[in-house]
Amino acid sequence: MSVVERARRVLPGGNTRTTLFVPPHPPYAVRGEGAIVTDHTGHRVIDCNNNYTSLIHGHARPEVLEAAFEAARSGTAFGLPTASEVALAEHVRDRTGIEQWRFCNSGTEAVLMLLRAARAYTGRELIVRFEGSYHGTGDAVVSPGAPGVVPGSVLVLPQNDLPALRAAMRDHGDRVAAVLIDLMPNRAGLTPADPAYVAELDALTRQHGALLAVDEVITFRLHEGGLHQRYGIRPDLVSVGKVIGGGFPVGAVGGRAEVLSPFDPQTPDGVSWGGTFSANPVTMSAGLTALRLFGPAEIAELNRRGDELRSRLRDAGVAVRGSGSLLRLMAADTTKLWWSLYERGVLAGTNGLLALSTAMTPAHLDHIADAVIATLRSGSAEHR
Ligand SMILES: Cc1ncc(COP(=O)(O)O)c(C=O)c1O
């Protein structure tokens, strides 16, 4: 029996992660090495998915693996804290200027923790977020009408619509715990937020005593301290994940000590939040090593390569969006696009997302450009 048939017997639809499903079923990965993934048929592809943007150095970067092995040899998880969580927190504090951090196992969990912190700190309930942005799978951040969802007190606004934001803050501002924004939402097409809009959002949250929360789970890779630093804002809370775990499960919320104080176990009536595997030393050590290898020079170089690839694609008539090392191909039929690229040796996100890694060489980037151009010229994915 094939692995696909076996999967369909024991997993609903043969699937664990909706985000990587492509009909009739995706191939199975068997090996990752640098920029290359080999699937169960022996087909080799350049990895532009990078586990949905998280593998900033591609697969099996020796220094990151060595850090993970070294940590694992001394124990993979403990019922005690380890110094590795302190070291990673110090590193992200120094990168961002954001005072305190609390780790968890995914971006979804980071956003849940961020919302809990915002509500606990302000004593308010209402969360404002934006249409089309993905913040993981918590009830408060998915489509309010979706099956099984109990959304709670959440207001969803169109992003970049200033009159709608002003009206919402005028009518509800004093009930808003936090406004949660992704400054370049992938699901919404990877279009960077308008700086004038973000400046007004910043001012309005302050005026109404609401917290400004930036979801940097994807965008942290674009700037040493996260994309918000390009906007010159100082969010009260940020959620991060993906690249900070060096390829292992991770999430974190960062903020001022005062705002995160509800998590202090000695705070009376504080927030009780555990997590059996949160801040495990394997993730913390791999993450710290991956981030140390991704400083300002590496970030700038990867962003430059992304900008160059985007220009090259645009010059060839491809509809492409994004910024720096994150690109999004805009196609009417993303399934056709995905398969067509895959057959040409490129693994994309199922929505047309391309995330570059430091493991890619100029030859890989040439191959990616040629594959995208050939795919769109072949008509297997019309522009949207
Ligand atoms: C902006 C953003 N927030 C949160 C998440 C959820 O992260 P995770 O998949 O690690 O739960 C994602 C995942 O893609 C994301 O892009």
Is the pLDDT confidence value at 381 over 70? no
Q: Are residues 83 and 213 in the same domain?
A: yes
Q: Is residue 360 part of a domain?
A: yes
Count the domains in the chain. Answer: 2
pLDDT value of residue 243: 98
pLDDT value of residue 377: 87
Output the 3-class SS for 319-359. CEEEECCEEEECECCHHHHHHHHHHCCEECCCCCEEECCCC
Q: Are residues 167 and 155 in the same domain?
A: yes
Q: Is residue 382 part of a domain?
A: no
The protein residue whose alpha carbon is closest to atom 9 in ligand 1 is 107
Q: Provide the β-strand partners of residue 104.
A: 251
Q: Are residues 300 and 271 in the same domain?
A: no
Pocket, ligand 1, Cβ cutoff 6 A = 52, 106-108, 111, 134-136, 182, 186, 215, 217-218, 241, 251
Ligand 1 atom, smallest distance to 136 CA: 6
Q: Is residue 248 part of a domain?
A: yes
Q: Are residues 255 and 328 in the same domain?
A: no
The protein residue whose alpha carbon is closest to atom 3 in ligand 1 is 135
Domain stops at, among 240, 261, 292: 292
Mean pLDDT of 57-84: 98
Q: Are residues 71 and 53 in the same domain?
A: no
pLDDT value of residue 382: 58
User: 120: closest CA among 277, 273, 279?
Assistant: 273
Q: Are residues 142 and 214 in the same domain?
A: yes
Contacts of residue 51, defined as CB under 8 A and 6 or more positions apart, other chains included, come to: 242, 247
Query: Which of the four pLDDT bands, split at 50, 70 and 90, describes residue 380?
Result: low
Q: Are residues 173 and 144 in the same domain?
A: yes
pLDDT digits (tens, 9 = 90+) for 306-328: 999 999 999 999 999 999 999 99
Q: Residue 114 Cα, ligand 1 centroid: separation in angstroms?
A: 13
Selected residue with higher pLDDT from 268 and 304 = 304
Percent of the chain's residues with pLDDT above 70: 99
Mean pLDDT of 245-255: 98
Q: What average pLDDT does the structure give for the chain?
A: 96
Q: Are residues 341 and 192 in the same domain?
A: no
pLDDT value of residue 175: 98
Domain stops at, among 274, 292, 310: 292
Q: Are residues 194 and 104 in the same domain?
A: yes
Q: Which domain holds residue 53?
A: 3-61+295-377
Q: Residue 52 Cα, ligand 1 centroid: separation in angstroms?
A: 9
Contacts of residue 1, defined as CB under 8 A and 6 or more positions apart, other chains included, come to: none
What backbone torsions phi and psi does residue 246 show, to the nearest 5 degrees? 60, 25
pLDDT value of residue 38: 98
Q: Is residue 266 part of a domain?
A: yes
For residues 338 and 134, give the distance between their C-alpha atoms in angstroms, rounded to a whole number. 20
pLDDT value of residue 2: 92
Residue 11's CATH number: 3.90.1150.10
Pairing status of strand 126-130 against strand 154-157:
parallel
Q: Is residue 26 part of a domain?
A: yes
pLDDT digits (tens, 9 = 90+) for 130-155: 999 999 999 999 998 899 998 789 99
pLDDT digits (tens, 9 = 90+) for 172-220: 999 999 999 999 998 888 999 999 999 999 999 999 999 999 999 999 9
Cα-Cα-Cα-Cα torsion 297, 298, 302, 307, nearest 10 degrees, comes to -10
Q: Is residue 310 part of a domain?
A: yes
Domain stops at, among 276, 292, 308: 292
Residue 154's CATH number: 3.40.640.10
pLDDT value of residue 188: 81
pLDDT digits (tens, 9 = 90+) for 72-117: 999 999 999 999 999 999 999 999 999 999 999 999 999 999 999 9
